[in-house]
């Protein structure tokens, strides 16, 4: 690869980020310039209020039109970039490398406005668009959790049955600090992430001395200790025991008052988690992690400290899972022992397997597929003769059957199997 091409590849990430920022900033700027602000507001507050007056309108808004034009332009540019070779320079590299991902993020940004247009509702107040924002926020949070588990299980080959520990602690730490100590939101979030680092270090330093299935059982027992503590009646004045607790969040993080902003913030964290893991796995450290998954003994023979690299994976996966837990706690403005239960270990595991173990987009696809399918079928009742089956009440059974079917049809997960089929077809 030539030096110029290497330089263009390095710049492609910054260009992709710039394209995404322009995609968001252009409709916001137009809305702020054409909208009507509320009276008696300062400069920045008046600017934002003017923008809200436009993008909070019901039905088809100028923001919706601009987003649609931008998305169509992105599709055309990505297609042309694939035919342009090196003529577009770093921009062509960015569009060829990240065009599909950029388009997916753009569609998710514009989706609430499209739903608002089709249902004559608003992205800012109660209605169909407002409801689907909450559904997608849950999907984003689960996707972040699945990405963190895929880093541990899919890319490094470490099997953990206690990954819910980090997810639950993220929700508990941020909530307890804001509720009992009155900590500012940024300090509470930082403390939750640092708590994830600390617990991951303890879990890794102690647990990695145990091999194979015994390590997985250790992680399960370690997580169950915190689950039992959270639900213990002795902690009722602090954690609310089995009922959990609620806490107040700033208005701008309140999903009842500013759900669309929280929707965008959660999507941004999902994109950040995806980029961090992809950059890590494309680095020399990531190649060592992949080597550990494939053959740890050979990696040791080559001189790599496998304990150190596994610990890196556990800590980063723990931080990402804790960040997902923080978002969950803030979104619900509360936490309960359920977020520490094994369900939030098994669920991301299933999402990773269905989407594709060791793939980048697979866990995200798996999270969306499972969560949106559950949402679509929640109130569905199938009637056969005199027999009526409520899908929502039998969701665990339906999920099991869906899992078996997908594993049989896509043995490497959806993304992994499609990539394998595509590779064979190009030979």
pLDDT digits (tens, 9 = 90+) for 238-276: 999 889 999 999 988 999 989 999 999 999 999 999 999
Question: Which tokens belong to 334?
Answer: 């509360």
Question: Which tokens belong to 81?
Answer: 């970039």
CB 322 within 8 A of CB 192: yes
Cα–Cα distance list, 284 to 85, 279, 287, 297 (Å): 28, 10, 5, 18
Cα–Cα distance list, 67 to 29, 140, 266, 280, 408 (Å): 12, 21, 19, 31, 39
- For residue 237, count CB atoms less than 10 angstroms from its CB and return exposed for 0-12, middle for 13-18, buried for 19 or more: exposed
Give the pLDDT of residue 7.
53
Residue 415 to residue 404: CA distance in whole angstroms: 16
Residues of the chain within CATH 1.10.3470 domain(s) are: 126-425
Tokens 């003769």 correspond to 385
Question: Which tokens belong to 55?
Answer: 């993008």
CB 159 within 8 A of CB 349: no
pLDDT greater than 90 at residue 96: no
CATH class as words, domain 126-425: mainly alpha
Give the pLDDT of residue 49.
87
In terms of DSSP bridges, do strands 245-246 and 381-384 run parallel, antiparallel, or are they unpaired? unpaired
Residue 3 to residue 80: CA distance in whole angstroms: 24
Q: What percent of the chain has pLDDT over 90?
A: 61
CB 322 within 8 A of CB 167: yes
Q: How many CB atoms lie within 10 A of CB 201?
A: 14
Give pLDDT tens digits for 314-366: 999 999 999 999 999 999 999 999 999 999 999 999 999 999 999 999 999 99
Of 37-41, 99-103, 145-149, 359-363, give the lowest mean pLDDT range.
37-41
209 against 178, higher pLDDT: 178
Of 324-333, 396-405, 413-422, give the lowest mean pLDDT range.
396-405
Report the mean per-residue pLDDT for the chain: 89
Q: In the chain, how long is the greatest CA-to-CA distance?
A: 72
Nearest 10 degrees: Cα torsion 184, 186, 238, 241:
140
pLDDT band at 393 (very low <50, low <70, confident <90, very high): confident
pLDDT greater than 70 at residue 141: yes
Nearest 10 degrees: Cα torsion 239, 137, 342, 177:
-20
Residue 152 to residue 348: CA distance in whole angstroms: 11
CB 156 within 8 A of CB 214: no
Residue 405 to residue 423: CA distance in whole angstroms: 23
Cα–Cα distance list, 100 to 77, 107, 280, 293 (Å): 11, 11, 20, 28
Residue 287 to residue 280: CA distance in whole angstroms: 9
pLDDT greater than 70 at residue 115: yes
Question: Which tokens belong to 129?
Answer: 């668009």
CB 107 within 8 A of CB 71: yes
Residue 326 to residue 173: CA distance in whole angstroms: 8
Helices 3-34, 259-281: crossing angle, 10 deg rounding:
180
CB 149 within 8 A of CB 352: yes
pLDDT greater than 90 at residue 9: no
Residue 112 to residue 263: CA distance in whole angstroms: 9
Cα–Cα distance list, 403 to 69, 134, 377 (Å): 38, 25, 16
Residue 340 to residue 169: CA distance in whole angstroms: 7
Give the pLDDT of residue 368.
96
pLDDT band at 378 (very low <50, low <70, confident <90, very high): confident
Residue 339 to residue 361: CA distance in whole angstroms: 24
Residue 214 to residue 224: CA distance in whole angstroms: 15
Convert 70-87 to b/e letters by CB count within 10 Å (16 or more is b): bbeebeebbeebeeeeee
Kindly report the length of the chain: 427
Question: Which tokens belong to 74?
Answer: 């992105």
149 contacts: CB under 8 Å, gap ≥ 6:
160, 163, 317, 321, 345, 348, 349, 351, 352, 363
pLDDT greater than 50 at residue 2: no
CB 35 within 8 A of CB 51: yes
Give pLDDT tens digits for 42-82: 778 888 888 888 988 998 988 999 999 999 999 998 888 88
């Amino acid at each position: 690869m030539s030096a110029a091409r290497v330089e263009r590849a390095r710049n492609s990430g910054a260009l992709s980020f710039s394209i995404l920022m322009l995609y968001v900033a252009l409709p916001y700027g137009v809305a702020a310039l054409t909208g009507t602000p509320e009276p008696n507001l300062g400069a920045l507050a008046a600017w934002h209020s003017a923008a809200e007056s436009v993008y909070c309108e019901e039905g088809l808004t100028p923001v919706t039109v601009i987003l649609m034009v931008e998305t169509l332009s992105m599709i055309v540019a990505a297609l042309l970039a694939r035919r342009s070779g090196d003529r577009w320079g770093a921009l062509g590299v960015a569009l060829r490398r990240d065009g599909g991902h950029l388009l997916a993020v753009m569609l998710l940004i514009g989706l609430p406005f499209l739903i608002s247009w089709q249902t004559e509702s608003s992205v800012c107040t109660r209605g169909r668009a407002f409801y689907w924002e909450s559904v997608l926020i849950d999907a984003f949070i689960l996707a972040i959790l699945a990405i963190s588990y895929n880093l541990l299980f899919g890319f490094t080959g470490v099997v953990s049955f206690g990954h819910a520990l980090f997810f639950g602690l993220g929700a508990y730490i941020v909530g307890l600090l804001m509720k009992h100590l009155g900590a500012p939101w940024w300090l509470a979030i930082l403390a939750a992430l640092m708590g994830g680092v600390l617990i991951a270090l303890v879990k890794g330093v102690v647990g990695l001395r145990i091999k194979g299935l015994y390590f997985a059982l250790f992680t399960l027992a370690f997580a169950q200790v915190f689950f039992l503590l959270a639900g213990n009646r002795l902690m009722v004045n602090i954690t609310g025991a089995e009922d959990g607790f609620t806490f107040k969040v700033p208005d701008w993080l309140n999903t009842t008052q500013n759900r669309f902003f929280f929707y965008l913030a959660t999507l941004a964290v999902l994109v950040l988690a995806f980029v961090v893991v992809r950059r890590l796995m494309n680095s020399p450290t990531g190649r060592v992690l992949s080597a550990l998954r494939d053959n740890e003994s050979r990696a040791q023979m080559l001189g790599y400290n496998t304990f150190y690299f596994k610990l890196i994976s556990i800590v980063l996966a723990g931080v990402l899972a804790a960040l997902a837990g923080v978002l969950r706690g803030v979104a619900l403005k509360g936490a309960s022992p359920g977020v520490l239960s094994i369900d939030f270990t098994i669920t991301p595991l299933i999402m990773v397997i269905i989407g594709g173990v060791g793939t980048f987009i697979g866990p995200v696809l798996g999270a969306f597929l499972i969560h949106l399918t559950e949402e679509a079928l929640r109130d569905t009742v199938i009637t056969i003769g005199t027999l009526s089956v409520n899908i929502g009440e039998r969701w665990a059974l339906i999920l099991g059957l869906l899992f078996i079917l997908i594993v049989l049809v896509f043995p490497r997960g959806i993304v992994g199997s499609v990539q394998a089929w595509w590779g064979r077809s190009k030979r």
